[in-house]
Structure 1
Amino acid sequence: MEEVETAEELLAKQHRKEKKDLQAKIQIMKNAVPKNDKKRRKQLTEDIAKLEAELTQKHDNELKQLQDSSSVEEVSNAMDSVGLVDDEEKTDSSKQTRTSKAQKRRDKKAALEKERESRIAEAEVENLAGSRHQEGLKLSQKLMERQLQIREISSDGHCMYRAVEDQLTERGAPRSLKELRAQTAQYMRSHADDFLPFLTDPNSGDMYTADEFEKYCNDVADTAAWGGQLELKALSQVLQLPIEVIQAESPSIIIVTCGMLMDLVNTTTLWSL
Structure 2
Amino acid sequence: MADTPAPGPQAPVVVATEILEDQQARHRKEIKDLTGKITALKKTVGGNKQKKKDVQAQAALMERELAERHARETAELLAQLEPAAASATAAIEATQKNASAAAANTIAEEAGVVGLLAEDGSSSQQQALLDVDDAGGERKKRPNKAQLRKQRKIEEFEAMRRAAAEEAANSVNTKEVEDEAIAELLAPLNLRVKQIPPDGHCMYSAIADQLGVRAGDHTKTYKEMRTLAAGFLRSHPDDFIPFLVNSNGDMFTEEEFALYCNEVEGSAAWGGQTELQALARALRRPIHIVQAGTPTLVVGEQFTTSEPLFVSYHKHAYGLGAHYNSLLPV
Q: TM-score, normalised by structure 1?
A: 0.48
Structure with bigger RCO (C-alpha 8 Å, 6+ apart): 2
User: What TM-score, normalized to structure 2?
Assistant: 0.42
- Larger proportion of helix: 1
Task: Name whichever structure is richer in strand by fraction.
Answer: 2
